[in-house]
Structure 1
Amino acid sequence: MVRSNHPSDKIVAEVSWLYYIKGLNQAEIATRLKLSRPTVVTYLRLAKERQIIGVKIQGTHFRVNELADRLCARFGLKSAFVIPEESNEAETAQQVCEAAAQFLPDFVKPGDTLGVSWGQTVSFVSERVPWWPVDGLVVRQLIGSLANPILPTCESCTTEIARRLSAHCVNLNAPAVCTTADLTDRLRAEPIIAEQLNLLNNCNKAIFSLSPCTPDTHVVQFNLATEKDISDYAAKGAVGIIIGRFIDRYGVSITGELDRRMIGADLDALRKMEGLLVVSGLSKLDATHAALTGGYASHVALDALLADALLHKNDAKSKEHGANKGGDTAM
């Protein structure tokens, strides 16, 4: 049988059906459809390229079992995906994002509403999510827009995840931060923005990353906050930043002038969602420990060095707490 150099989706889908669903091998498909075996291989490749099929790797294959199990036990997590160290920090971060992306279609269920944060890490995840439709899924932008041409914005991350999961996408049509609190109040009061903010309470799942509360944080680099903002919040005890909001070492929200100028979900809303935290790098140790201690994540994807450091840090804090408690008793 002669086939065109540009086979139709119908024949490509038929080959895919026989191979992936019916379980026929390539030789059996070739015989049934009167094709050559190389043509069957080509059609299976085209099925992926044309997004006729979606391929997803089970998240359990990314787990480093002992560290993952200890993290779950220590911080009350439902799952942890621990990625072995690669040759450099950038490659390790990429693999952490890959693990989170492969887990995401299992994380969300039909009818869920997923809130999406912003930044390089979430952007890397969004670009790697398998093409895997989830019925009735709604994907919402958790914070407003940032005017920066090189920044992976919240709306771009939200849109890409929704596209890959065939979900309904809802962007938040407002700036993430305004110049004055008065302007912020007036924008929040606008009916369309007020409704969008109110509907963020419908999010029962969330995917996010975090930053340390240091002057070199990307929150400063991309003008969400100034170095003075960071200094002011750090002076109040902030160690981490999640969705543009600040937390202390216990995960308690720290508010300040910047919060009055921000438009988006706050930390109380985030804590009510089942959260997937994606993070890598020892520079984020304190912020990650605070986020897990504060109960913002039910699932985490991270690298092995960070996972090990988290467990050691938690052990040290437990010993310190025990010593202080003993000292108090003796007084």
Structure 2
Amino acid sequence: MPLSGVPLGKTKGAADLARVQPRDDTHFVEAAWLYYHDGLNQNEIAERMRISRASVVNYLSEARARGWVLVHLDSDVFCGHRLAAELCTVYGLAEALVVPDDPVDPDGTAASVARVTRAAADWLPRLLEPGDRLGVSWGATVYQMAQQLPNTPVPDLTVIQLLGSRPAALGFAAEACTSMLAQRLGGQCINLHVPLVLSSKALRDALSDEPVVHDQLRALATCNKTVLACGTCDADAHVVRSGILSAQSMADYRAKGAAGVICGRLIDGAGQSVVADVEERMIGVSLDQMRGKDMALLVAAGPGRAEPAQAAIKGGFVTHLATSTRVARELLEMKT
């Protein structure tokens, strides 16, 4: 049943919770069954169960909170979108998923991004198979997608952190993205237990040669599938906010052609490397290691994401794209 969400009312406070404690769990189950399987609305359920509509709202909310109800977005609906077909034809993608922008979100920001990450979260498990080794990028988009991923165990799955760690007051460090995805997918998690950026190349080389780190780096090179975002190259870019590059350095690299950021590394509009000085001190996946995967899901949503998305596709980093109608149209306009 393709749904983008169910209006289950406001978050319950302590007083509400006290009022809705049922005599047993059958009240929750009955309300959920009538709503999701029988298609009754909340007023009809209230009349059927002889309770208030507010109680119905609370019962449904509690059923979802307990994990008894999983709302699934049927990705086939969005993959069949006309824009999705055009993107596949024009850019040579295996599949694309295009989600309508939120009509009350004219700038394509938070609400529309949440729609895309939700749809991508429902799509990802269907792109995985037993025995896959999934490499995970970082950033707000990937973290938000991981948060919305349904619990969908994939047998013999390994989930691997693609780049070292960086202090992230913003809440979406690489290790957090990887561990959350591994937990939701029931996979073995391999974190890269090193800083992303070291103080010198010599220290980077020495740490990379440590047996434990060497094994972790070898593991990330074996990924056959990836999930990633491609960041912008403006003053508000993730690599600027996290202190990897200064705003001035980013402006300089932008002037040299930088159009996107994949796993902390810059690419130009054709998807080729724009080598930043900091790269010789970084520990993580190389751009060459990110190309040519069996499946590489790029999640692209929000203002300014069309240019980096196009660069990532041209560079061979993407086989599958999850995006919004706004970004899809921009990508098609840029191609012509």
On whether the aligned pair clears a TM of 0.5, the verdict is yes
Contact 1:151 1:222 in 2 (8 A): no
Shift of 1:233: 2.6
Aligned residue number for residue 99 of structure 2 = 83
Partner of residue 153, structure 1: 173
**1-structure distance, mates of 2:71, 2:100:** 23
* Residue matched to 1:278: 299
Which letter does structure 2 place at the counterpart of 1:185?
D
SS in 2 for 1:103: helix
Alignment partner of 2:98: what SS?
strand
Shift of 1:284: 2.1
- 1:99 alignment counterpart: 119
Greater share of helix? 1
SS in 1 for 2:327: helix
Q: 1:262 aligns with which of 273, 279, 282?
A: 282
Secondary structure of the structure 2 residue equivalent to 1:82: strand
CA–CA distance in 1 between the matches of 2:61 and 2:254? Answer: 52
Distance in 2, matches of 1:50 and 1:82, equals 30
CA RMSD of the aligned region, Å?
3.0
- The residue identity in structure 1 corresponding to 2:135 is G
1:210 aligns with 2:226: no
From the superposition, tell whether residues 149 and 214 of structure 1 become closer, same or farther in structure 2 (CA, over 3 Å): closer
Cα 1:45–1:109 change in 2 (3 A) is: farther
- Return the offset for 1:297: 0.7
- What residue in structure 1 maps to residue 317 of structure 2? 296
Pair 1:229–1:192, CA change in 2 (3 A): farther
Structure 1 CA distance for aligned equivalents of residues 166 and 24 of structure 2: 42
Secondary structure of the corresponding residue to residue 127 of structure 1: helix
Mapped partners of 1:179, 1:5: distance in 2? 61
Instruction: Give unpaired runs (5+ residues) of structure 1.
Output: 27-35, 316-331
Task: Measure, in 2, the Cα distance between the counterparts of 1:202 and 1:301.
Answer: 24
Q: Report how far residue 43 of structure 1 moved.
A: 9.7
TM-score (ref. length: structure 2): 0.79
User: Which residue does the alignment assign to 1:131?
Assistant: 151
2:85 matches 1:69: yes
Please state whether the residue corresponding to 2:163 is helix, strand or coil: coil
Query: CA separation in 2, counterparts of 1:52 and 1:240?
Result: 41
CA distance in 1, matches of 2:91, 2:181: 27
**Displacement of 1:80:** 0.7
Which residue is equivalent to 1:229? 249
Q: Given residue 170 of structure 2, which amino acid in structure 1 is its aligned partner?
A: I
Give 2:128's aligned amino acid: V
Q: Quick one: percent identity of the two aligned structures?
A: 36
- Distance in 1 of aligned mates of 2:61 and 2:131: 31
What's 2:3 paired with? none
Is 2:79–2:95's contact at 8 Å kept on the other side of the alignment?
no
Residues of 1 paired with 2:122 and 2:186: CA distance?
15
Please tell me whether Structure 1 or Structure 2 has the larger radius of gyration of its CA atoms: 1
Task: After superposing the two structures, state which structure 1 stretch, 284-293 or 71-80, moved more.
Answer: 284-293
Q: Counterpart of 1:202 in 2: which secondary structure?
A: coil
191-200 vs 52-61, which moves further: 52-61
Taking the aligned partners of 2:314 and 2:289, their CA distance within structure 1 comes to 17
Say if 1:175 and 1:6 are closer, same or farther in 2 by CA, change over 3 A: farther
2:184 maps to a residue whose letter is R
Structure 1 match to 2:160: 140
For 2:137, the equivalent position in structure 1 comes to 117
Q: Is the 8 A contact 1:238 1:254 kept in 2?
A: yes
- SS of the equivalent of 2:142 reads helix
TM-score with structure 1 setting the length = 0.80
Q: Residues 301 and 60 from structure 1, CA distance in 2 versus in 1: closer, same or farther, beyond 3 angstroms? A: same
Contact 1:55–1:131 under 8 Å retained in 2: no
Q: Deviations over 1:202-230 (max 9, x none)?
A: 21111111112222212101112222432
Unaligned 5+ runs, structure 2: 1-21, 40-47, 51-55
Paired residue type of 2:238 = H
- Cα distance, 1:47 vs structure 2: 6.6
Out of 168, 176, 186, the position equivalent to 2:196 is: 176
Q: What code does the residue aligned with 1:79 have?
A: E
Q: Kindly tell me: are residues 6 and 270 of structure 1, through their superposed partners in 2, closer, same or farther at Cα, counting changes over 3 Å?
A: farther
Structure 1 range deviating more: 87-96 or 233-242: 233-242
Q: Which amino acid aligns with 1:313?
A: M
Secondary structure of residue in 1 paired with 2:150: coil
Counterparts of 1:4-19 in structure 2, within 5 Å, are 5=23
Q: Distance in 2 between matches of 1:47 and 1:147?
A: 36
1:95-125 alpha-carbon deviations (Å, 9 max, x no partner): 0111101101101111111111111111110
Shift of 1:48: 4.9
Residue 44 of structure 2 aligns with which residue? none
Corresponding letter in the other structure for 2:96: A
Q: For the Cα contact (< 8 Å) 1:64–1:84, is it kept in 2?
A: no
